[in-house]
Amino acid sequence: MLPRYYRYRHAHGSPGHGADHVLPAIVAPTVVLPVHDGEPLLGTWQSVVLVDLNRDNPHRHVRRSLVAG
């Protein structure tokens, strides 16, 4: 969908890194997940997946927040 070999106009990162900035428009960068009794409320075939869109940065942090509702 976003070929890495395409010449994106982008000033930093490895070749094809410009696509890493476009992908969050397709793959949501955040999610709201309901939790009950400490367990996520997922459907039978649902799961939570973390996707790293920037291959140039080897260090990642995952932030989670719980909000009573």
Q: Give Cβ neighbours of residue 24 (< 8 Å, ≥ 6 apart).
A: 53
pLDDT of residue 19: 66
For residue 63, with 0-12 CB atoms within 10 Å meaning exposed, 13-18 middle and 19 or more buried, which class applies?
A: exposed
Instruction: Tell me the pLDDT tens digit for each residue of 7-25.
Output: 666 666 666 566 667 777 7
Instruction: Tell me the pLDDT tens digit for each residue of 19-56.
Output: 667 777 777 777 788 888 888 899 999 988 887 776 67
